[in-house]
Amino acid sequence: MLKKYLQTQQDNFDAMRSRHSRLQQLAGQEQQRGNLLAQHIGSLENNQQMLCSLSLQNLSGLKHIMHDLAAEQQQRSALAEQEAATQQQACNKQAAYNLAIEQLLQQRQQRQQLQQQRREQKQQDELAMQMYQRQRMSG
């Protein structure tokens, strides 16, 4: 029964690792989006072609919006990284739990083997005693 439980926990661990992998990918994508946004903002700041005041006002408004987007993207990226780190901690706990169950199963198996060896030794001792008593009675 404990083996079935261990298998269930192992399946759970595999699902957790898969989720962690997806979260890491998502965090990487969010980081990449942030980098692309920062590059785009940088390209706007280096644009010296606009001489009209209306164009400069539009550019200023666009820069403001882009900076707000960049801040929001930074938060999304940090949140994705935090979620991946939290999932990694959960994976670590699950791995430790699975290891403890495996060790418990090994201890049980060793204990059962030892009990079996003792039973076999007891049977051999009883047989040896019976043979000794028969030889003594017949001899």
DSSP 47: -
Return the structure tokens found at 28. 């990487």
Beta-carbon contacts of 67 under 8 Å, excluding residues fewer than 6 positions away, are: 41
- Between CA 31 and CA 50 the distance in angstroms is 31
Q: What is the pLDDT of residues 1-49, one digit of tens each?
A: 889 999 999 999 999 999 999 999 999 999 999 999 999 888 876 666 6
Q: What is the pLDDT of residues 82-114, one digit of tens each?
A: 999 999 999 999 999 999 999 999 999 999 999
Return the structure tokens found at 51. 């001489």
pTM comes to 0.70
- 77 Cα distance to chain centroid: 20
